[in-house]
Structures are given as structure tokens and as C-alpha cells.
Structure 1
Amino acid sequence: MPLNLPNALTLGRIVLIPVFGLVFLLPVGWANLAAAFIFALAAVTDWLDGYLARRLGQTSAFGAFLDPVADKLMVAVALVALVAVNPSPLFALPAAIIICREIAVSALREWMAELGERAHVAVNMLGKVKTALQMVSITMLLYREPVLGVSMHAVGLLLLFAAAALTLWSMVLYLMAAWKVLAREPQSNR
């Protein structure tokens, strides 16, 4: 495991997950601001570690594995926390869609990698837009307070539904790409 700056940022993001969870649960008035800040910091490092790895020529198999894991863990913990404090189908539906898609696509990528076909389910621009939308919406929902009279809760929830829609669409695209590969695989005897 090469410990370089991009990988250190990714590991730092993983360390932030329990800190985020603890801060989110604190019974103090500033907890929502602090939780939103921690989540936003994690989101920025998600972008920054990939940028630095490419820019500094420090890409690694370890970093390629750990970066999406860190991203999915932080998003899943934040969504579960938000559903816990907003126990309604309005929150549960997009959260479930996003979490289930992340698990399914991760498994699909792993399977395709075993077949030597990982390039067919590589991250694309739609996935990057989906991730950015998730990060912005979750940050707004964590903050919860109005900004300049605009409800961050309402805007964040709207963006979360948009992220869930993009999540479903990107999953369909991944499945269609994988289906082409799987359709030409010989059937095994099971």
C-alpha cells in the first residue's frame, strides 16, 4: 500500500466517518453545521484525492479500490443518519435507491473485473454528476437551516430526488454495458 498524499486523503475521509456520526448525534445547536462541514470536507477530499493522484502521477491499485469505498461509506452513513431523524418515505425512498444502487454497482464492477471486463463498467461522467449531486444535496440536508430565506431542507430534498433519479439511470447504463459482456459469456453448468 503506497502511502502518498492522495491515499492519505482517502484514509482521512474514512477516519472522518465515525467523527461525522458522533457530531451528527450531539445534542447541541451547532451539530448540524459541524456535521454538514465534515461531510462537505469529505466530499471535497473525494474530488481532491483523485485529482492529485492523476496530477502527481500517484495513482495506485490501492487508491483505486479505497477511494470509491470511502465515498460510498460516507454517503451511506449520512443517508442512514438523515433517514433516522426524518423517518418518512420521502427520505427513505431516495436513500434506499442510492444505497442499493451503490452496493449493486460495486458488486457488478467486482464481477466484471473477475471476467477481465472492468472497462465496460468504468466510472463515467454521469456517475461523477450523480456523485456531485448527492454530495451537495446531503450537505444541504445536514445543514437544515435556511440560507438567505431559502430552505436548505427543501432544496436538498429536491436535489436528493434528482440524485436518486440519476442513480437509477446510471445503474441502467451500467447494467446495459455489462449485459453485452455477459450475453457473450458461455453458460456454466450450475
Structure 2
Amino acid sequence: MLYNLPNFLTFLRILAIPLFVGIFYFPHTWLLPANQNLIAALIFAGAAITDWLDGYLARVMNQISAFGAFLDPVADKLMVSAALIVLVYLGRLDAPIALIIIGREIAVSALREWMAQIGRSKSVAVSFLGKIKTSSQMVAIPLLLYHDTIGDNFDAQQIGTWLIYVAAVLTLWSMFYYLKAALPQVLKEEKKNF
């Protein structure tokens, strides 16, 4: 089922990435910095909502497909990586935090692929800890993109910074959790090949 609504929403997320990044390259005579921040935050928030929505629709409409299961996490990782790189470029996020989050995504994706090849993908299925990490990240990034104060007292940059640090700690913690879950299988495979 390549052509269905959940996959269409996933494709939209991928297509939104160049627009999301490009917003910050518009001349300030076209789009003021505050408007760039707002539009980028809204695009990212929309992507986060469609991430939840496409999975929900796939289950409810019984349109779960192997292609969708492959494409959905790719779209998520591309959007989050693009956002983190933009935030580093704008000076709103420290590069080591972005490297921790992006590096973990690459490492865990590779681990999941390898575990799937040996028929043990359930050993590294998404954990509750991973879901908390993702939630923290999905709230932090739009706040960091928005950057400005909301109302009189809500400093989006400060709250976003705290949340992205929480996400970075949970990122490392969940990566070690997945590695610990996979280690017995790694050792078993090594014994077979030795």
C-alpha cells in the first residue's frame, strides 16, 4: 500500500523540510525574523502532529504497510535532524547536544536494522523511555525555533533549552537501554561466527 493517506502525510513531512529550512534564508525584507521563527515553529509542530496522525490513521484505517513502517521513522529523523542543525546554525542550541541526539538516532537505527536482519527486531522495539525522549524533543524544538517570549513570563528559549537537555539525557539513557537489550544477541551472533 504505497498510495494511502498515512503515507501521503509522511511524504508531506519530508517535502516540508526544504521549506522549513528555507524560511531562515528569506531576506528580512520578505519575512521579519520574528515571523521566520513563528512559521518555522508552526511547520515543525505540524510535522510532529502528522507524525502522530499518520500512525494513528494507519492503524484505524487498517493501512499499515511495510513501506510506511520504513518511511515514517526516516521522515521523523530527517525533520528532527534538520531542525537541530538549523538551531545550531542560529546559535540557539549547542552543537554537542545536536550531535548526541542525531548520533543516537543513527546508532539506534543501525542497531534496529541489524537486529531485524537476524530476526530479533522485537529486542529493540520502541520503549516507554524512547517515547518520553521523543515527547520532550518534540516540545523543545518548536520552543527553540519560536525563540521569543510568549506572554509576559514564558521564555520559550529557556524552557526549550531545559527540555532539549532533558531530551539529550534521555537520548543517551535510551541508547544504553537499547544496546543492553541487544548485547546478548550480539554476543550470540559473534559466537556463531567465531
Classify the TM-score, shorter chain: over 0.9
1:176 matched to 2:180:
yes
TM-score between both structures, scaled by the size of structure 2: 0.92
1:120 aligned to which of 119, 123, 133: 123
1:18 matched to 2:18:
yes
Aligned-residue offset at 1:187: 4.3
TM-score between both structures, scaled by the size of structure 1: 0.94
Contact 1:121 1:177 in 2 (8 A): yes
Q: State the partner residue of 1:147.
A: 150
SS in structure 1 at match of 2:185:
helix
The one-letter code of the counterpart of 1:6 is P
2-side partners of 1:162 and 1:24: how far apart? 26
Question: Any idea what the Cα deviations from partners look like across 1:25-57, whole Å, max 9, x if unmatched?
Answer: 323321110000000000000111111111111
1-side partners of 2:150 and 2:13: how far apart? 27
Aligned ranges 1:92-111 → 2 under 5 Å: 92-111=95-114
Aligned ranges 1:6-155 → 2 under 5 Å: 6-26=6-26, 27=28, 28-29=31-32, 30-86=35-91, 91-148=94-151, 149-155=153-159
The one-letter code of the counterpart of 1:167 is T
The one-letter code of the counterpart of 2:22 is L
Aligned-residue offset at 1:122: 1.0
Contact 1:25 1:31 in 2 (8 A): no
- Any gaps of 5 or more consecutive residues in structure 2? none
- Any gaps of 5 or more consecutive residues in structure 1? none
2-side partners of 1:49 and 1:126: how far apart? 21
SS in structure 1 at match of 2:94:
helix
Percent identity, aligned pairs only?
Answer: 55
Aligned-residue offset at 1:181: 1.2
Contact 1:145 1:153 in 2 (8 A): yes
The one-letter code of the counterpart of 1:129 is I
2-side partners of 1:98 and 1:125: how far apart? 17
1:2 matched to 2:6:
no
Question: Any idea what the Cα deviations from partners look like across 1:67-119, whole Å, max 9, x if unmatched?
Answer: 000000000001001001107xx621211110000000000011111111111
1-side partners of 2:109 and 2:116: how far apart? 11
Aligned-residue Cα RMSD (Å) equals 1.3
